[in-house]
């Protein structure tokens, strides 16, 4: 009788360790996906700063606009939660589009190699950002579903684990505007 009870306890402990391992693995996946997404966002912020500085240097009459762009960039960089950061990214993406649309009004910018290199980099960053956003949201979806599923939900409640926020900009990412290089 005692042996059967002991075997049951050992099996329950092993199963608990297994559940804990599954939970920690899923949380680790979410955390890593968030780090990857943040890395791409940081690349975007650096690009936005470089673009704004290049454009500001070339277009002195737009100085106030570029200061506002830098302010929007700082606000987005300071946000830490995925949902709020997703909302702030709408403004950052708008600023990037605005810079590129301004460049089509100023052909002298299109002749600068630095500008065309930055435009190509912007397209690359946006593609990576879309992939990392999808990856992060998939990991969060799996985490939230798993957290609500029995028996993991019991372990999650014991460990006081909460649902995670999705990173969702208010509107889907769009490709950057096409700029005709002459």
pLDDT tens digit string along 137-182? 999 999 999 999 988 888 888 889 899 999 875 444 455 555 554 4
| Arithmetic mean of pLDDT over the chain | 85
Q: What is the pLDDT of residues 68-90, one digit of tens each?
A: 888 888 889 898 888 888 888 88
Number of folded domains that form the chain: 1
Query: What is the rounded average pLDDT of the residues 25-49?
Result: 93
d(CA 65, CA 99): 10
3-class SS at 111? coil
* Host domain of residue 89: 22-158
DSSP 178: P
Classify residue 50: in a domain, yes or no: yes
Neighbours of 52 (CB within 10 A): 21
Classify residue 170: in a domain, yes or no: no
> Can you give the CATH number for the domain in which 60 is found?
1.20.1440.20
Classify residue 147: in a domain, yes or no: yes
What contacts 130, CB < 8 A, 6 or more positions away?
Answer: 173
At 181 the pLDDT is 46
Classify residue 29: in a domain, yes or no: yes
Classify residue 124: in a domain, yes or no: yes
The model's pTM: 0.78
Task: Identify which of 161, 154, 163, 164 has the alpha carbon closest to the alpha carbon of residue 19.
Answer: 154
Classify residue 114: in a domain, yes or no: yes
CA 23 to the chain's CA centroid: 22
Classify residue 169: in a domain, yes or no: no
At 9 the pLDDT is 94
Confidence class for position 59, pLDDT limits 50, 70, 90? low
Q: Does the pLDDT at position 103 exceed 90?
A: no
What contacts 140, CB < 8 A, 6 or more positions away?
Answer: 30, 33, 82, 164, 165, 166, 167
Classify residue 179: in a domain, yes or no: no
């Amino acid at each position: 009788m005692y042996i059967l009870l002991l075997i049951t306890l050992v099996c329950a402990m092993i199963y608990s360790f297994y559940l804990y391992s599954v939970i920690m693995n899923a949380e680790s996946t979410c955390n890593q996906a968030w780090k990857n997404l943040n890395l791409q966002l940081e690349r975007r912020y650096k690009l936005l700063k470089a673009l704004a500085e290049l454009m500001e240097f070339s277009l002195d009459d737009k100085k106030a606009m570029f200061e506002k762009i830098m302010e929007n960039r700082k606000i987005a960089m300071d946000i830490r939660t995925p949902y709020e950061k997703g909302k702030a990214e709408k403004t950052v993406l708008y600023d990037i589009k605005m810079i590129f649309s301004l460049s089509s009004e100023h052909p002298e910018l299109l002749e600068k190699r630095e500008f065309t290199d930055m435009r190509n980099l912007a397209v690359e960053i946006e593609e990576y950002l879309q992939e990392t956003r999808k990856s992060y949201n998939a990991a969060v979806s799996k985490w939230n579903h798993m957290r609500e599923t029995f028996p993991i939900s019991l372990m999650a409640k014991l460990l006081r684990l909460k649902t995670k926020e999705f990173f969702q900009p208010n509107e889907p990412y769009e490709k950057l505007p096409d700029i005709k290089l002459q």
